[in-house]
Structure 1
Amino acid sequence: MEVIRSRSNELVQRVRKLAHDAALRRSQGRCVLLGERLIQDWLARGAVLSQVLIPQRWLLRPEAQRALLSWQAQLGGLNKARSCAWLLLEGTLADGIPGLVTDAAPIAVAAFHELEDIESLPQDGDILFFDGIQDPGNLGTCLRTAAAFGVKACIPGPGCADLWSPKTLRAAMGAHQRLSLFSVRSFESFIERLSGPIRAADAQGLAAHESDLRLPGLWVLGAEGRGLSAAIKQHPRVSLHAIPMQSHTESLNAAMAQGILLYEQYRQRQR
């Protein structure tokens, strides 16, 4: 394992830039995974790692050696694992890479799959469309919740946070590997392909528990604060569904609202 002692090390600088630069991530098709559990989740789904950066203080933990052996085995054994660069970061060298400074967790650089073409959008399950959700932690939690309820596909609309930012990835906890993710130009550019219902979360809608949510279809979730865009809210195919709340509560964040609505849908399907 190579030991990195200098903060100006070229590889450390490249990983730091990759963590902060969405355009660079897209051009290279690589992202930064923060933390032991996230790395494990991605490896379990066949991820290819190019670098693993290990803080010295993490390596002192009793479980660290077991984790490293497990990762090498999942990469295809020691010989194949040698194609991945294993780097030990001395002291606080990892400071400045998001998330590492607070929990001394390992970092990996992994290849990610391209977003799928809308032509292959599934017609036999639930789909989520995110309408301008800008907070990466909230977007990641939405993905994690979607995977938990068996959603087939997720579509980040224009103005959404980057799917591959470290904060989105960490909040999603491996959900990227369990969902089909699609790229679209706009909401209007793909909905004609859908034959099922199109539902959106909105405070002006019919209470979710009074709606029939059993049929699979598309759910639309609006951005924090702004809510749904006017074009989606007024679209003739979109039905609005609300979560009843006490009058003094203005709203829930997108991930919380999504979880409640997907649970209500799940509950109705169990009848």
Structure 2
Amino acid sequence: MKSITSRDNPQYKELKLIATSSQARRKAGRTLLDGVHLCEAYLQHLGQPELCIVSDATTDDFEVSQLLSQCEQKNVRCISLPEALYQAISQVENGVGIMFLIATPEPVLPNTISETSVALDNLQDPGNLGSILRSAAAAGVKNVFCSPGTAFAWSPKVMRAGMGAHFLLNIFENIDLEEVLSKSNIPVLATSSHTTKTIYQADLSQAVVWLFGHEGQGVSDNLMAKATHTVTIPQQAAIESLNVAASAAICFFEQVRQQLK
């Protein structure tokens, strides 16, 4: 395992740039997985990382040493950093000192949409995006299509909120949602306050595409026109609307409930 002790080391500079700049992550096609849980999930579902980074202060930690051993057995390059250098690139407060550098997955866009999927129109909050990904994975959704303007799915905040869900999904970014929805041979459902049909009255026994939009503005008019059905989630009149991540979870698991009948 190589030890890096200087902030001027070229590899360290590259890691710090990826850790702190969304633009750098997108340009490099790489991101950092920070913490034991994400690293374990990646090894379990996707394989080996490009690089394993550990803090000198935690190399004796049992969970870290187990992951480090797995990486070394797979001939993954491993480096150690002094705690101060490690913390300068870590996005997790009081985290356990291990990170993976990985290539951002780029799945092949399907020709037709025939299995339950999610389309996200200009969803901007990383926490909301991560929560939706986590709920989608738990509900057995396979594909997530993100429009330009949607938060970068592989940013540290989104990945922390997703808790490993990323590795169970096909995530497509900077996608023309109008084109994708035109390829759907299954119903496209959007939530709306301007309809009387509730989510519980909709037939969700088949695969569908769920369409969710910007936290404040909702789904754009041109995309709403692509929806084959609109549904509402019943709630108390005193509350104007639900958080988009909460709405998505309700929709996903109502579909799960109907399909378990």
Task: Tell whether the structures are fold-level matches, with TM greater than 0.5.
Answer: yes
Distance in 1 between residues matched to 2:9 and 2:253, nearest whole Å = 48
Residues 118, 62 of structure 1: alpha-carbon distance in 2 compared, 3 angstrom cutoff: closer
**Amino acid in the other structure paired with 1:252:** L
For normalisation by structure 1, the TM-score amounts to 0.86
Q: Write the mapping of 1:1-271 to structure 2, written as runs, cut at 5 A.
A: 1-73=1-73, 75=74, 80-81=75-76, 84=77, 86-119=78-111, 121-123=112-114, 125-183=115-173, 185-205=175-195, 206-233=197-224, 235=225, 237-271=227-261
Identity of aligned residues (%): 29
Q: Where do 4+ consecutive residues of structure 1 move more than 6 Å? A: none
CA RMSD of aligned residues (A): 2.2
Structure 1 gaps of 5+ residues are none
User: Residue by residue, what CA displacement relative to the aligned partner does 1:223-249 show, whole Å, maximum 9, x if unpaired?
Assistant: 21222222223x164322122122222
1:38 offset after TM fit, Å?
A: 0.6
Residues 187 and 209, structure 2, Cα contact 8 Å, conserved in 1 = yes
CA 106–256 in structure 1, closer or farther in 2 if over 3 Å, else same: same
In the TM superposition, residue 204 of structure 1 has moved relative to its aligned partner by 2.8
CA distance in 1, matches of 2:202, 2:109: 32
SS of the residue corresponding to residue 7 of structure 1 reads coil
Distance 2:11 2:147 in 1: 33
From the superposition, tell whether residues 98 and 112 of structure 1 become closer, same or farther in structure 2 (CA, over 3 Å). Answer: same
Give the deviation of 1:184 after TM superposition. 5.8
Gap change, CA 1:177 and 1:91, over 3 Å in 2: closer
Measure the CA separation in 2 of the matches of 1:186 and 1:242.
Answer: 25
Please state whether the residue corresponding to 1:245 is helix, strand or coil. coil
SS at match of 2:86: coil
Deviation of the 1:218 alpha carbon: 0.8
Cα shift at 1:5: 2.6
Distance in 2 between residues matched to 1:96 and 1:207, nearest whole Å:
48
Equivalent position SS for 2:234 = coil
Q: CA deviation at 1:185?
A: 4.2
In structure 2, distance between residues paired with 1:211 and 1:114: 33
Structure 2: runs of 5+ lacking an equivalent: none
Deviation at 1:183? 4.5
Describe the shift of the 1:227–1:237 C-alpha distance in structure 2 as closer, same or farther (beyond 3 A).
closer
Aligned residues: 260
